[in-house]
Amino acid sequence: MSDSLQPIIAFDADDTLWPNEDYFRDGEKQLIALLEPYYKGDNLLQHLYEQEIRNLHIFGYGAKGFTLSMIESLIELSEGKVTGADIQRVIDIGKSIMTYKIELLPGVKETVETLRNDFGYKLMIITKGDLFDQESKIARSGIADLFDIVEIVSEKDDATYQKLLIKHQIDPQFFWMIGNSLKSDVLPIARLGGHAVHIPYKSTWAHETVTAEHAAEHNYFELTDISGLPILLEREIQGL
């Protein structure tokens, strides 16, 4: 069988292989605490979210863009009254998000080892965000050597996935994408004729949410635990 007809199993990284969203939500809480002496209004989180979305086309995804958006929100909502110490605190929050200890989610290591070593599947990581930050997390994960291909992209949409499939000469029929985001990991692959497995994480960034009606328009698999992935893949791949 040619390489293009071999099953390729791709994984999202953040909140699929290891926790990530929790650190951003904790950063938001710390920003709110910093703003308490300056701002008594409501909707602080909505303001930060809108700031992040406005900045996406400039800073992209990830902790660096998040940190800069927090600084902008701090300056704007305090009407420029923040101190250098306050801004340094936000920078420190950003640094902590970029250097946290990677602890794999339950079942991840065993599942990836099974798929690679026992079943012989070719494995990929496809993640979006800042190149340096994502490379660092993958290196710190302790499982980087289990993956044959790593792709770090600025966006995860239909066009990006199509380019990756062409680049690696992968037939969508033999491609599987595993991730926690319906918007970024699942629905684009379903639209391209590939296979997707949704493994929800306990929290999801608002920008990654889709309506139930939109999700229901597409076919994909759903698991509550990554440990069930080998059985699912073996069952479905045998039927291809």
- pLDDT band per the 50, 70, 90 thresholds, residue 40: confident
At the top level of CATH, the class of 21-99 is mainly alpha
- Residue spans in the chain of domains classed CATH 3.40.50.1000: 3-18+102-237
Answering whether pTM is above 0.85, one says: yes
Q: Are 113 and 141 in contact (CB under 8 A)?
A: no
Rounded mean pLDDT of 24-48?
Answer: 86
- pLDDT band per the 50, 70, 90 thresholds, residue 2: very low
Rounded to the nearest integer, the mean pLDDT of the chain is: 92
The pLDDT value given to residue 238: 77
Q: How far is CA 95 from the centre of its chain?
A: 18
- pLDDT band per the 50, 70, 90 thresholds, residue 4: low
User: What CA–CA distance (Å, rounded) separates 56 from 60?
Assistant: 4
Long-range contacts of 111-120, Cβ-Cβ distance < 8 Å, separation of 24 or more: 111/226, 111/227, 111/229, 111/230, 112/11, 112/17, 112/143, 112/146, 112/147, 113/146, 114/230, 115/9, 115/229, 115/230, 115/233, 116/146, 118/230, 119/230, 119/233, 119/234
Rounded mean pLDDT of 37-59?
Answer: 85
The pLDDT value given to residue 6: 85
At the top level of CATH, the class of 3-18+102-237 is alpha beta
